[in-house]
Structures are given as structure tokens and as C-alpha cells.
Amino acid sequence: MLIPLVVMLLQTGSSHCGLPFYNGFYYDRVMNDKVYLNGVRLMVETSQDAVFSLRGANVTLPCRYYYSPKLDTPRMIRIKWSKLREDNTKAADVLVSSGLKHRSFGDFRGRTRLQRSAPHEVSLVINDLRLRDAGRYRCEVIDGLEDESGTVELELQGVVFPYQPHHGRYMLNFHEAKKACEDQDAVIASFEQLFKSWMEGLDWCNAGWLVDGTVQYPITLPREPCGGKNLAPGIRNYGERHKNLHHFDAFCFSSALKGIVYYLAHPQKLTLEEAKQACQDDKAEIAKVGQLYSAWKFLGLDQCDAGWLADGSVRYPITAPRPNCGPPEPGVRSFGYPKVGKFGVFCYKRS
């Protein structure tokens, strides 16, 4: 019904009619407040599957748009990429583009661009991925009044580790837990990241904060003190806790390492202060817990010697379990935070 009317108006050159007029196109308002372009529909297509990558890598989040039925003349559109928050309510701007102009925001400045190598492609390229880049992104295409979007999930391959500070168990509120992970070159883990680690065998009987403000812990071998023997293996959930008042441990997440971690060859065992100095003398720095886990997971670091780390803990990484090197599963073994004694040291060198 609308099409003949438009044709008639174009023929007569008249602009006096009851229809609103935008950008040379007529719009018709239909049910659900959806706006259609003369019966032409704008569609946005993204990847259904999550995109997997690693810290430090460059990644492309695919997105394209098209009109149905097809339009012959190119149209001026605007693109807006944003990143959804953990609870999917709010979004933070990542990049906006209009014509040849584009702008990126915050932490994404200087690291993002639009990839338009195919017609109608508006994929987002993010360089030098950071741990906090993981999450869900929205690709929004705006054509006049029409606004369509799709989302893409970016997942980083990584490792989750439980973290307890030197002053003991259940000492961190949510904000302190977040900071504790950041101090270890990691971020506080998401439920998805913890779940994935549980699938890979993580079993830890102390509850820790996750980024969504819940407190949970992963159990693969049900036992009495960890939710009960009769409860199936799974993630035990204490639910949402008060972010200031309640205290637990933390689950931290790290991905690939930008650099190397090594056990320093040194003639004698060291105190923590001597260990820090020894790494500096080697033009490196004493490694953080997240860096040791990352080197264990991604670089296969295996060392059956306990060494100091920056937070004052003593640990060692085993990828090929053997007698006298801890339990029969691969893992990072911990001696806690020794108050006395001398050990080796793990150093970190940036690449």
C-alpha cells in the first residue's frame, strides 16, 4: 500500500502528505514500535559461536549488515560497537563510526578499528587483547531511524586460580578480591571461566568471589566439608554476597603471558628480600602468582623446586607429575606464605 503512494509522490515532487519524511526515505511505523524502511528491513549478522583468543593477540569480532530486500544504492549508516557489562544491563562504548570518521573510547583507544574488507562488513578489530576485554560485545547499525544490533561473545583462553592473601583464609571483601587478582597480573574470574576450569578438573574447597558479585567454589570430588558427600560434583554457589561486608577468597583469571617466567639459577637459597634483588640483578622482576600460573599453563613451565613469588608466597609449577613433586595431577603447588626459611625464586622477564 505504501509503495504506490511513494512512487506517486516522487512523480509529482510533492512533499505534502501525512507521512514523516527522513533522509529521503519514508518510514512506516508498525507493531512493536519497530520501524521499517518502505518495507525494506535492515538486518545485522554476527557470529553465533564465541570467538576465542589469548591475551596479547589481535582479534576480529565479525559483524555485517544487509537490507532485505536488497538495496541498490549505498546508504549512509552509523556503526556503534559497545561492550555489555557482566549483568548485560549496561553497555560501555567501544567504537563509533560515521562515514569516514570513527572514534574509540577508554581502554580501547588506539587498539580498535573497523574492518570493512567486504561490502557491508563492519567487524571490530581489537589489538593487543587485555584480560578485561573478555565478554559480550554489541554491534549496532543505525540507518536513519532504523537501529538493529547483534552480539558476539569474546572468550579468552586462560587459567583460573584460587587466591588467598598472606593474612589468611576469607579475608577479602569483593573490592579487595578484585584488587588482589589485579596485583597478581590477573583479573577476578567470571562464572564462565570458573565453570570451564571446573570442567578441566579444578577442585577447590574454599569459596571465592567472582566478578558478578557471587561467591562460589568448584568441586569435582564431592566430600563432607565441601557441600556434602551426596551432592553431585559441580560449582557450589553461596549466591550474591554483600560486596563490602562479607569476606571470602578470590578466583582469579589469567591468559597467555607476555614474556617468560623462569626459575633463577642461583648458588644458594634466598630470603624474600634477597630473591627480589636477585631477579633485579638478572634484569627481571620477581614473578607474580598469575604469571607463574600462566607460564605453567601456556609455556609448560615445570620446575620441582619451590621459589618465592612477589606476594611472599612460595610455589612451584608441575606439568609432568612425578614422585617427590607433589600430587599425581599437574598443577601449581603452594607452600603458603612461609615466615622463615630460604628458597629459590621465579623471575619474570617482559618480552
Ligand X SMILES: *[C@@H]1O[C@H](CO)[C@@H](O)[C@H](O)[C@H]1NC(C)=O
CA 278, CA 284: separation in Å to the nearest integer?
Answer: 9
Q: From the CB of residue 180, how many other CB atoms can be counted at a distance below 10 Å? A: 22
By beta-carbon proximity to ligand X, the closer residue of 142 and 299 is: 299
Smallest gap from Cβ 123 to ligand X, in A, equals: 14
By beta-carbon proximity to ligand X, the closer residue of 58 and 220 is: 58
CA 69, CA 39: separation in Å to the nearest integer?
Answer: 8
By beta-carbon proximity to ligand X, the closer residue of 127 and 280 is: 127
By beta-carbon proximity to ligand X, the closer residue of 56 and 330 is: 56
By beta-carbon proximity to ligand X, the closer residue of 126 and 186 is: 126
Of the candidates 58, 68, 220, 280, which one interacts with ligand X according to CB under 6 A?
A: 58
Query: Which x/- pattern over 162-181 shows residues binding ligand X (rule: CB under 6 A)?
Result: --------------------
- Residues contacting residue 346 through CB under 8 Å, at least 6 positions apart: 261, 262, 263, 264, 286, 287, 292, 303, 307, 308, 309, 315
Smallest gap from Cβ 52 to ligand X, in A, equals: 15
Q: From the CB of residue 63, how many other CB atoms can be counted at a distance below 10 Å? A: 27
By beta-carbon proximity to ligand X, the closer residue of 112 and 313 is: 112
Q: Does 51 bind ligand X (CB under 6 A)?
A: no
Smallest gap from Cβ 294 to ligand X, in A, equals: 16
- Nearest of 87, 123, 91 to residue 105 by alpha carbon: 91
- Nearest of 297, 39, 37 to residue 158 by alpha carbon: 297
Query: Which x/- pattern over 3-42 shows residues binding ligand X (rule: CB under 6 A)?
Result: ----------------------------------------
Smallest gap from Cβ 128 to ligand X, in A, equals: 7
Smallest gap from Cβ 104 to ligand X, in A, equals: 14
Q: Which residue is nearest to ligand X (CB)?
A: 58
Smallest gap from Cβ 287 to ligand X, in A, equals: 22
Smallest gap from Cβ 127 to ligand X, in A, equals: 5
Q: Does 57 bind ligand X (CB under 6 A)?
A: yes
CA 319, CA 331: separation in Å to the nearest integer?
Answer: 6
Q: Does 109 bind ligand X (CB under 6 A)?
A: no
With b for 16 or more beta-carbon neighbours within 10 A and e for fewer, the 111-121 pattern comes to bbebeeeeebe
Residue 198, judged by CB atoms within 10 A of its CB (0-12, 13-18, 19+), counts as buried
Smallest gap from Cβ 53 to ligand X, in A, equals: 10
Smallest gap from Cβ 129 to ligand X, in A, equals: 9
CA dihedral sign, ordered 253, 332, 185, 125? negative
Of the candidates 127, 244, 271, 280, which one interacts with ligand X according to CB under 6 A?
A: 127
- Nearest of 167, 216, 166, 229 to residue 188 by alpha carbon: 216
By beta-carbon proximity to ligand X, the closer residue of 177 and 256 is: 256
By beta-carbon proximity to ligand X, the closer residue of 115 and 149 is: 115
Residues at the interface with ligand X (CB under 6 A): 57-58, 127
